[in-house]
Chains A and B, each alone.
Chain A
């Protein structure tokens, strides 16, 4: 997969809901910047991180920027590997249909294995 020289596997691990803290937005900004460096980038959404991808976010009432549409721009940045924790979705009453982008749903064990294969992990 990332056998080309100079290309490293970067995984962004998102575990926070979008507006309660600034983690989700910060992660997204770093992801977009990283995309400029042509690395092998993937995003993983675990625990409350899956809420970041929830459809139908409307932030007018809390006077905060709604950055959820930006996840749909990732494809244009050639970031196509989005992994979502199966157990986290189930625990929160969500299915893939509730998410605003196409993702790969993996169970925790598979995510753990994938994490072990990375060169760089950025935790949010």
Chain B
């Protein structure tokens, strides 16, 4: 299934809860969630751990808006809005960790 996180890992437990509950699957970071996709933060190692179990995507327009496009952690796939739709369409269910 697809998990969507839209909160910064520095101010919310959403990403934490998501990866502790979900066994794996697709993980899409959107809105402030994309801060978790940027390298060199205190969440960097945490994110790399997550990537062992999840395929991780980040919404490109949200990365660009926040000036993060050139700091994406290797292995995280940026997607555009059409890519977002594809992810939703190819997963049976979708959980937003609000």
Q: Which residues of A contact B (CB under 8 A)?
A: 13, 15-16, 23, 46-47, 85, 87, 108-109, 111-113, 115-116, 118-121, 123-124
Known: A108-B21, A119-B93, A123-B96. 13 other contacts (CB 8 A): A15-B14, A15-B17, A15-B98, A16-B98, A23-B98, A47-B17, A85-B21, A87-B20, A112-B22, A115-B1, A116-B23, A121-B94, A123-B98
CB of B10 within 8 Å of the partner chain: no
For A118, list chain B residues within 8 Å (CB): 93
A52 to chain B, nearest CB (A): 14
Q: In the complex, A124→B96 CA distance in Å?
A: 8
Binding site for A on B (CB under 8 A): 1, 13-14, 17, 20-23, 25, 92-98
Q: How close is A8's CB to chain B, nearest CB, in angstroms?
A: 11
A112 touches B98 (CB 8 A): no
Determine the chain B residues whose CB is within 8 A of the CB of A46 once the complex forms: 17, 21
Contacts A47-B13, A47-B17, A115-B1 hold; do A124 and B23 have CB atoms under 8 A apart?
A: no
CB of B52 to closest CB in A, whole Å? 16
8 cross-chain pairs, A with B, having the tightest CB-CB distances, nearest first:
A123-B96, A112-B21, A108-B21, A112-B22, A121-B95, A121-B93, A108-B20, A112-B23
Q: Which A residues are CB-close (under 8 A) to B94? A: 121
CA distance A32 to B8 in the complex (A): 32
Contact among B21, B25, B93 with A120 in the assembled complex (CB-CB below 8 Å) = B93
* Closest-CB distance, B88 to chain A (whole angstroms): 12
Decide: B98 and A109 in contact? CB cutoff 8 A.
Answer: no
In the complex, the answer to whether B98 meets A111 with C-beta atoms within 8 Å is no
User: Which residue of chain B has the shortest Cβ distance to A13 in the bound complex?
Assistant: B95
Q: Please determine whether B98 and A115 come into contact, CB atoms closer than 8 angstroms.
A: no
Query: Within 8 Å CB of B25, what residues of A?
Result: 116
A-B contact pairs, 12 of them (CB 8 A): A15-B97, A47-B17, A108-B20, A112-B21, A115-B1, A115-B93, A116-B25, A119-B92, A121-B93, A121-B94, A123-B98, A124-B98
